Amino acid sequence: MSGAYSSYRVLLPGSGRYLSASALLLCAAFAPEIHAEQQRSSVGLGMGITPDYPGADSYHATPLPSARLFDGRFFLQGGDAGLNFALTDSLSAGPLIAYSGGRDAKDNQALAGLDDIDSSLLYGAFVRWQPGRFSLEANYLRAADSDQGAAATLSLGYLLYQNQRHQIQLGVATQWRDGDNMQTWFGIDERQSAMSDAHYAPYNARAGIAQVTPQLRWRYQFADNWQLSTGVGYTLLTNEAKDSPLVEKKSDLQGAIGVNYQF
């Protein structure tokens, strides 16, 4: 297909502090194009604002580096990397690896007394179908630390407007987590219940859809080789995730801004 339409790429996060869609749903706001037809590489740097952990009432800033090399086949985005293989003009797929920075109980008072979540390598794959202005992508990542489980994201995007300098896209993504992943990030066992400063009741978080995130992004080509991108997302926790005692807010806004240099 023509490189005129950019991929509405949504990945699970690697560089964030938790295994959630939030950080790299926003990293997609300034991710470089990865269509092989465009034959351009790029590097970029941005900043995202996300909650300290899923459901937290406080936020932190996250650096979001990005790069596209080797004619679009290899991509590096935040803490994630992968290969993009074109299967047809509108269908592509490839392997993914990522890094989850875990969660430190000392980073937020609501977590005081709970166990830290160790950082972990993530591995998996994605498949993307992009017929014209629409894009549909599914990806799956499993933690190398088997106790942390796995998560999958399904995302839909639509290119609302595009001219020589501006591009506006709408999208929505939903994330499913298996039982181990849900319990890691939202559950509380009896030992942690007794140790927590907040005296949380034990909570068993089962597998299911954890969140839904509508998104909007805008790109501006302000020079021949330079591009400014911004994105906003609104995450709604659902099912077992929203009912966790750790959740202070069942919904939150995130934002990101970044600059890419194309060469």
Q: What is the mean pLDDT of residues 113-133?
A: 93
Assigned domain for 14 exists: no
- Cα 246 to Cα 54, 114, 147, 209: the distances in Å are 9, 10, 19, 17
pLDDT band at 35 (very low <50, low <70, confident <90, very high): very low
Residue type, position 247, single letter = V
Encode pLDDT of 64-121 as tens digits. 887 776 566 887 765 678 898 999 999 999 999 988 888 999 989 999 999 999 999 9
Assigned domain for 60 exists: yes
pLDDT band at 218 (very low <50, low <70, confident <90, very high): very high
pLDDT at position 237 is 96
One-character DSSP codes across 98-147: EEE--B-GGG-GGGTTSPPB--EEEEEEEEEE--TTEEEEEEEEEESSGG
Assigned domain for 2 exists: no
Give the three-class secondary structure for 44. Answer: strand
- Cα 9 to Cα 28, 72, 75, 223: the distances in Å are 6, 13, 11, 23
Higher pLDDT, 113 or 39: 113
Assigned domain for 219 exists: yes
Q: Using the 8-state DSSP alphabet, how is residue 185 labeled?
A: H
For the chain, the domain total comes to 1
CATH of the domain at 74: 2.40.160.40
Domain with 161 in it: 22-262
Assigned domain for 226 exists: yes
Q: Among residues of the chain, what percentage have pLDDT more than 90? A: 62
Assigned domain for 135 exists: yes
pLDDT band at 197 (very low <50, low <70, confident <90, very high): very high
Q: Above 90 in pLDDT, residue 158?
A: yes
Assigned domain for 11 exists: no
Q: Among residues of the chain, what percentage have pLDDT more than 70? A: 82
Assigned domain for 182 exists: yes
Task: Specify whether the CB–CB gap between 30 and 259 falls below 8 A.
Answer: yes
Q: Above 70 in pLDDT, residue 184?
A: yes
Q: How far apart are CA 168 and CA 159, in angstroms?
A: 6
